[in-house]
């Protein structure tokens, strides 16, 4: 049995839980230990059960709880070479931390981890594809400035994909962000709009993905209903039927998403 849920997902903090075959992992550490324990308690999961934490990149909303988490629970940290170097430089890893470089494919207690490069303004950011012991596959792809063929290829065939739906273009343009930040968000190394995320969801649905969780929504430039409706309309226009061909939900910004069990 494989399980997945988001513990928080927004521009202010990101942390995800995935488990299968008796192994439990965190992806990113955008929660401090106290809030992380509270989130995991709601799932009847003990922090001591975690076998490690996989980091997609070094931005604060993905690692602000990492140092204290690793120091307290001695969790090994999996990340790309560039991300590990960035984490060390910013003091996000405590002395003596066990670090494992993500290159190509790794296996951790029966869970296969494949990393793939993504376009984002970080040192060496990656998306992730998990192959669970029961054969299920889970993809995680947020913080994407744009979607290239390597991303589509890496996610094709996943049973479930956590997919970025960061901003609504009209809200971003009308919002209070300064111009340079608006350019950064919608740039080639920024984030995916609702429409771009919906296009990728449609591509993946046509190739077998049946479960989508929209994540990393901006709390200033998006609304859950807008992200959901944009993706649902794109999927339905492509001929997919909600509840039959696909299941779609939006990850809460600061709360635990209901556990998805395969």
Model pLDDT for residues 170-215, shown as the tens digit of each residue: 999 999 999 999 999 999 999 999 999 999 999 999 999 999 999 9
Domains of the chain: 2-261 (3.60.15.10)
pLDDT 10s digits, 108-166: 889 999 999 999 999 999 999 999 999 999 999 999 999 999 999 999 999 999 999 99
Q: C-alpha dihedral over 226, 227, 228, 229, to 10 degrees?
A: 50
pTM above 0.85, yes or no: yes
pLDDT of 104 reads: 80
Pairwise CA distance, residues 39 & 71, whole Å: 19
Hey, what are 21's tokens? 């075959």
pLDDT of 108 reads: 85
pLDDT 10s digits, 48-69: 999 999 999 999 999 999 999 9
Q: Stretch 248-260: mean pLDDT, rounded?
A: 97
Hey, what are 105's tokens? 């494919």
pLDDT of 150 reads: 96
pLDDT of 65 reads: 96
pLDDT of 212 reads: 98
In degrees and rounded to multiples of 5, residue 116 shows phi and psi of -145, 145
In degrees and rounded to multiples of 5, residue 210 shows phi and psi of -115, -10
**CB-count burial class (<10 Å; 0-12, 13-18, 19+) for 29:** buried
User: Is it the case that residue 75 has pLDDT exceeding 90?
Assistant: yes
User: Is it the case that residue 33 has pLDDT exceeding 90?
Assistant: no
Pairwise CA distance, residues 140 & 160, whole Å: 9
Hey, what are 213's tokens? 């969780």
DSSP lists the bridge partners of residue 115 as 128
Sheet with 50-54: list strands edge to edge. 99-101, 77-79, 50-54, 23-27, 13-20, 2-10, 260-261
């Amino acid at each position: 049995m494989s399980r997945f849920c988001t513990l928080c997902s927004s521009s202010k903090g990101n942390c995800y839980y995935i488990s299968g075959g008796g192994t439990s992992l965190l992806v990113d550490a955008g929660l401090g230990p106290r809030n992380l324990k509270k989130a995991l308690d709601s799932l009847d999961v003990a922090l001591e059960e975690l076998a490690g934490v996989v980091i997609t990149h070094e931005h604060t909303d993905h690692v602000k709880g990492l140092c204290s988490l690793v120091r307290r629970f001695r969790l090994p940290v999996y990340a790309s070479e560039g991300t590990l170097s960035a984490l060390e430089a910013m003091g996000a890893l405590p002395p003596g931390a066990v670090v494992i470089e993500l290159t190509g494919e790794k296996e951790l207690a029966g869970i296969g981890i494949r990393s793939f490069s993504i376009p984002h303004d970080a040192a060496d950011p990656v998306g992730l594809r998990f192959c669970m012991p029961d054969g299920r596959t889970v993809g995680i792809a947020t913080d994407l400035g744009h979607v290239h063929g390597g991303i589509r290829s890496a996610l094709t065939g996943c049973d479930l994909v956590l997919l970025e739906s960061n901003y609504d273009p009209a809200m971003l343009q009308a919002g209070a962000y300064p111009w340079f930040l608006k350019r950064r968000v919608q740039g080639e190394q920024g984030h995916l709009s609702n429409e771009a995320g919906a296009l990728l969801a449609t591509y993946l649905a046509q190739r077998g993905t049946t479960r989508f969780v929209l994540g990393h929504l901006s709390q200033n430039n998006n609304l859950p209903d807008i992200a959901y409706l944009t993706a649902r309309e794109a999927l339905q226009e492509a001929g997919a039927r909600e509840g039959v061909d696909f299941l779609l939900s939006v990850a809460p910004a600061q709360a635990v998403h209901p556990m998805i069990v395969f």
